[in-house]
Structure 1
């Protein structure tokens, strides 16, 4: 069974062409010709992607998008916009649209954008289901593969640096004392200087080129969202 795409488009000829092309590509489709009917259909069934025209009767596309994003951000929305409607494109992206394509458009380009959007959604879903993957904003750490990326770039860490960062990312936004960090990363039998935590935090800051790990004066450290 293919992915399900909801088409909300008031021009019936365009909607029909989209429906036939998408079905030919193996997608299941639903069609609505007004903003109100589109919102009803969206709420009644489950969809993998929504093609949403902005200029709709009864309720315009931006209002439909606003109502969708008021409840969830998981379903990708690709806007169909008029050629000169720059403000609508900006407003749509600000409201949570994933992408837009300008009318008139080439069907191959639209299909390519749909494929990319759905691929990205699948990737996100797989990552969310991966128990070994931890994220904090643009920081990503995989405990099983022992890989770290920051802003999409790989970061090379020593074993101790990795364990320290893994401890931080497992406790995001939580203020951790030096003693807690020592016990978790260096072990309960460590009797050295607690300043070793400060040294390794400095190493991480240098390698990430970021103040993602922030000092809480008199207490310890906290990992903020990147």
Structure 2
């Protein structure tokens, strides 16, 4: 059986590194992307089991990326992975098809359980 894959999309390299180590510790394979564009170029081939998607990124934000993902064939659960605690962003992300909206600190305090709960 192959490992389930988690894709992390965040422009903060420190966050990518910490999240990658935490998720690998949980037993998942991890692919990291520093921009939504790089992620979108690989998404259909990668077919991740779960996506962690930041909101605030240059050139294309996470909500724009989420909108593009919602029109595709492959549907991975997408967890918005952000430091923005804002009800309007939360509502918009869920309307666009996000599975959940999590603060980074909330996710990193219990990554194994959160992934297990949301992964297919």
TM-score, structure 1 as length reference? 0.49
C-alpha distance in structure 1 between counterparts of 2:107 and 2:46, whole Å: 28
Deviation at 1:34, TM superposition (A): 1.0
Greater relative contact order (Cα < 8 A, sep 6+): 2
Aligned to 2:110: 109
| Misfit runs of 4+, over 3 Å | none
Equivalence for 1:76:
77
Gaps of 5+ in 1: 122-226
Q: Following the alignment from structure 1 to structure 2, what is the Cα–Cα distance between the partners of residues 2 and 41? A: 18
Structure 1, residues 111-140: CA drift from partner, whole Å, max 9, x if none? 32211011xx3xxxxxxxxxxxxxxxxxxx
Cα distance between partner residues in 2 of 1:24 and 1:103 = 17
| Deviation per residue, 1:121-173 (Å, 9 max, x gap) | 3xxxxxxxxxxxxxxxxxxxxxxxxxxxxxxxxxxxxxxxxxxxxxxxxxxxx
The structure with the larger Rg is: 1
User: SS state of the match for residue 105, structure 1?
Assistant: helix
Measure, in 2, the Cα distance between the counterparts of 1:42 and 1:35.
10
Question: How large is the Cα RMSD of the aligned pairs?
Answer: 1.6
SS at structure 1 position matched to 2:16? helix
- What CA distance in whole angstroms lies between the structure 2 residues aligned with 1:87 and 1:34? 23
The runs of 5 or more residues in structure 2 that have no matched partner are none
How many residues were matched structurally?
119
CA distance in 2, matches of 1:88, 1:72: 25
SS at match of 1:57: coil
